[in-house]
Structure 1
Amino acid sequence: MASLTGAAAVLLAFILAYSTALTIYRLFFHPLARFPGPRLAAATKWYEFYFDIIKSPGGQFFKELSRMHDVYGPIVRVNPDEIHVRDAAWFEVLYAPNPTKRNKYRPSAEMAGLTLGIHGTVDHDLHRRRRMAIAPMFNKQSILSAEHLIKQHIDELTDVFESYLGTNNPINLQTTFLAYTTDVLYHYMFDTDAGYQRDSGAAQQWRHSMDAVAQATPFLKQFPSLLSRVALIPLPMLIWVLKRIQPDVAGLLGTHQLMASIVSKYMASKPEEDQDELIATKAVKPRTLFHAIEASSLPPHEKAPTRLAQEGLTVLFAGGETGSRLLAHTVYHLLKNPEILEKVRKEILDAAGDSNQLPDMKALEALPWLTASVRESLRLRAATTSRLPLVTEKPLAYADWVIPPNTPVSMSHGDILHNEDIFPDPMKFMPSRWFNASPQQNRLFVPFGKGTRMCVGMNFAYCEIYMSLAVILARFDLELYDTRWERDVHYTRDCFLGEPDPASPGIRVKVVADHKTFTRS
């Protein structure tokens, strides 16, 4: 017993000595020691842990980060290893285009547990090759060629809205639009019928799974390698355990199983004679995301089933949630501004003329009020609330500061998109600001990011959003139901995407009338 007590004392003494030495190093001898910021944040990552995990309701470090800049200036050491900059003029320096080389900060890349997908790729050159491989799925020509596919799912979306007419029951827009965007992604990317819009129970469960991810994200930011370790557990066993302790997360792992099944079917049905078809995908839309990767110049190990599945999951998780949120928020803002809604509706109907047919994407993009409303909703939403750290192999200069090489450096989209010097009255929904936008406003409209890590799915997102908005806004009269900005729309937590109050029931509307516009022909 005495020996155990002695060993514990030695261990405790070692831990105290190590912690003291580490703190002294970080405060006085670390390459970032002279950069401004709170001393406690420089000494330990537990400072950030407190704001993201302990301080209610979680995910609060983004607010503390803003306070740091208010106190210490535009460049701040936010933790022992990372620098954050709040200066719109420097955004294009950090998030520079090719050939500027920027690696992703490994903990940030590992957080989602999908290190084989483009979002989880650390190395700049490997990211560029992986991105080029899937680019044929996201170019404008491919997307416009698939408008008919998106229209099929918009028909199902209108069926959902129509089913609520006269019921006095509200629609949860996030749940409904998530089912739509997910169905479109499965069909367009994987040639798979997910059927969420035809199964309200499955749609609701998928919404709960996404909410569970949001709840877990602040924790995963603090322990970014956790999911990679959990992935070592056999998936069936992991699902069995989670069904008993966290069923919403278990549902998410069911998506991993489904993606593995989709990849298996693709690999099994891939005949040798498809090579001519694969080569042709350079000119037309590939049949699936996996066909695009197969047709690329990536080496064979980059076309292995596990790699394909992780790329598929990356696209699915990145595209479904962001698109659905933008749709819900745009509808909210237009319903709160009925005079703008009427202008949007009128120009959609004018573009259709007497045809009662939805105008194509090119025509919709040319509509000034619709386009300005989407842009303004994107600006206000500033979807990614998390800072986005990159690492450069060379020193970076900011003002009189020289940031050492291999230092993670980050900025936040909200600091740009909600900057009152660039966008006056930044929290007001004002689509008209885009009719006479300055070059600076257009250049710093960065909801999809900028540079080599810019969102690859921008054109796809615009297409599914423009087309569905046009139909819903022209066909249905909606009214908000018990929806409040402070509780249901304005984000109060950083869960990678901004999240509202945990008590929020979501953005909800009632269907008041159906004008039968753009019905099936």
Structure 2
Amino acid sequence: MESADIFRHLPSSNTTWLLALLCALTLYMLSMCVYRLLFHPLARFPGPKLAATTKWYEFYYDILKSPGGQFFHKLSQMHDQYGPIVRPNPSEIHIRDPGFFDVLYAANPTKRNKYLPSTEMAALPLGIHGTISHDTHRRRRVAISPMFSKRAVTSAQDLIQPHVHKLVEVFAANVDSLEALNLQTTFLAYTTDVIYDYMFGIKTNYQNNKQEAEAWRQSMEAVAQATPFSKQFPWLNAKLLALPHALFRPLLNRFLPDIAGLLETHSVMMQTVSNYVSEQSKTGLGEIAEEKEKIKPKTLFHAIDRSQLAGDEKNPQRMYQEGLTVLFAGGETGSRLLAHTMFHLLDNPDILEKVKDEIAGVYRSSNGSPEVKMLERLPWFSASIRESLRLRAATTSRLPLISTKDLVYKGWTIPAGTPISMSHPDILHNNDIFPEALKFKPDRWFNATDFQNRMFVPFGKGTRMCIGMEFAYGEMYMSLAAVLNRFELELFDTTWERDVAYSRDCFLGEPSKSSLGIRVKVLIDKAAKRD
């Protein structure tokens, strides 16, 4: 056979193989659909058949449907149609029933593991947020808990106070300014400076560097915008972080500066851990006894190093990931809570006056230096913070956990090993629990029922509850009291519908894409008037 004859046969052969491959792929997809609809352990659970068949259903609502992050709206519609228990994708069950919250997010000794895809998004599997195993998570959490206890946070007020003074200076510098102050940027600079100082012993100065503060805020925004995509492809971030960033840094700086800034934070944290390890190799462990006598360890890394964790749990890579977990979680959520609380107070002048009168009184009685425990006892102030936390319901994303045993819900037996999720807004914005749930009504807490108090879960519940609750409260009380006591503020071109209420699920609730943030004008500095 001549060579020309051979080449004439090749296209036919290639076409045959291609057709065979397509047929095999089609057969596989059809068999997978049949299995998921008829034979999967979750096949009998209610929900749209398309959602039970493929995760591309969720992909459409989170990625393709404008403005993105819309599946949480679709999930609410599923519950309206099918009831309190639905199957939102092939492998997961979601429940909208406050009565089940204590069951799923149970305290020790109940064991709940995390669902792998939900931990992969941040590419920090060695931090407590990304830890899958219940037992490993508990050990890691115990190791760093001395940094987050109420006693430790109370003892650190002198450390936090200079950062509060800087925050006050930022507001003072904007009195009568033509430019409005973006509260999320301003408060993020504050919470980031506090976390670096308290957790890592590093003095940063985001509050006095507007350009750096805005760049950091934009990096956090970039993470938020990417979250719906990361939820669909949770393994992707780990792959991107594994790339040699130094090689791509010039391109990132030019075309994706927000991502470049985020990766720079990774580099800074790795260097911080490296410096810690180098310092410890010089000083040895002679200060362990002294550290144990202190209310809190010197840094987060000291806490890990001095803990009862096994040696391989104290390596630099794990410290680096734990450090980033604390930085990202604490800084961003803390700044949002502060900005939202300020919005609600300024949007309700009658409540604001009551809060300011309380704060002014405690400032007078303490000679201008009130402790957190004094501020916590102020009825309207503490109730306003509590109500803002309820309304903010920071985490809009589903929070799946896995039980090692079958769980029963209203006649439905959910097989062990099934990811089961619930959503904080379904609890905190439930009109049956909190009448007029989307209204800012601090006085609802003056006569709250036991059930309402039990359903106050802005920090979660159970073994996976946010470890930074007391730290967040300390930051909020100190900073809000200082700002409200000194300045007269007013909202600037800020509305609930566009700038506060969330329209997208980006793990944290995001407002409209047209929002320019929660902004204020600083009208009067009372200290300057006294001078």
Aligned to 1:368: 379
- Aligned match for 1:265, one of 275, 284, 301: 275
The answer to whether 1:156 aligns with 2:160 is no
Q: Tell me the amino acid that sits aligned with residue 102 of structure 1.
A: R
Give the one of 227, 231, 242 matched to 2:241. 231
Give the whole-Å Cα distance in 1 for the aligned partners of 2:121 and 2:439.
33
State the shift of 1:356 in Å. 4.3
Partner of 1:431: 442
Instruction: Identify unmatched segments of 5+ residues in structure 1.
Output: none
The correspondence for 1:250, drawn from 232, 251, 260, is 260
Q: Does 1:422 align with 2:433?
A: yes
| 1:399-444 deviation digits (Å, cap 9, x = unpaired) | 1000001000000000000011100000000000000000000011
Q: TM-score normalized by structure 1? A: 0.98
SS in 2 for 1:77: strand
Helix, strand or coil: the match of 1:35? Answer: coil
Tell me the equivalent position of 2:3.
none
Give yes or no for contact 1:278–1:294 (8 Å, CA) kept in 2: no
The equivalent residue for 2:201 is 191
Q: How far 1:306 sits from its partner (Å)?
A: 0.9
CA distance, structure 2, for counterparts of residue 239 and residue 412 of structure 1: 38
Whole-Å separation in 1 of the counterparts to 2:309 and 2:365: 49
Aligned-partner residue type, residue 129 of structure 2: H
1:236-256 Cα deviation digits (max 9, x unpaired) = 234344224321011000000
Alignment-derived partner of residue 176 in structure 2: 166
Q: 1:220 to 1:281 in 2, by over 3 A?
A: same
Q: Which residue of 1 aligns with 2:5?
A: none
Question: Do the aligned residues in 1 keep the contact of 2:176 with 2:521 (CA within 8 Å)?
Answer: no
Change (3 A) 1:363 1:125: same
Q: Could you tell me how far apart the structure 2 residues matched to 1:297 and 1:241 are? A: 44
What is the match of residue 18 of structure 2?
Answer: 8
Q: Which secondary structure does the structure 2 equivalent of 1:164 belong to?
A: coil
SS, match of residue 103 in structure 1: strand
Letter in 1 for 2:475: E
1:504 aligns with 2:520: no
Alignment of structure 1 residues 472-487 onto 2, 5 Å: 472-487=483-498
Distance 1:396 1:244 in 2: 51
One-letter identity of the residue aligned with 2:279 = S
Q: In the alignment, is residue 182 of structure 1 matched against residue 192 of structure 2?
A: yes
**TM-score, with normalisation over the residues of structure 2?**
0.96
Task: Give the number of equivalent residue pairs.
Answer: 520
Q: Which residue does the alignment assign to 2:222?
A: 212
1:43 corresponds, among 53, 60, 70, to: 53
Q: Is the 8 A contact 1:37 1:76 kept in 2?
A: yes
Report the secondary structure of 1:391's partner residue.
Answer: strand
Alpha-carbon distance in structure 1 between the residues aligned to 2:53 and 2:61: 15
Map 1:304-453; keep pairs closer than 5 Å. Answer: 304-353=315-364, 356-453=367-464
Distance in structure 1 (CA, Å) of the matches to 2:292 and 2:30: 58
Identity %: 61
Distance 2:474 2:447 in 1: 24
Q: Distance in 2 between matches of 1:282 and 1:454?
A: 25
TM-superposed CA distance for 1:142, in Å, is 1.0
**Secondary structure of residue in 1 paired with 2:199:** helix
> Which residue matches 1:57?
67
RMSD: 1.5
The CA deviation string for residues 315-343 of structure 1, in whole angstroms up to 9 with x for no partner, is 00000011100110111000111111111
Measured after TM superposition, the shift of residue 174 of structure 1 is: 0.3
- Counterpart residue number, 1:100: 110
Q: Contact 1:479/1:512 (CA < 8 Å) preserved in 2?
A: yes
The separation in 2 between residues aligned to 1:332 and 1:316, in whole angstroms, is 24
Greater shift, 227-236 or 448-457, is seen at: 227-236
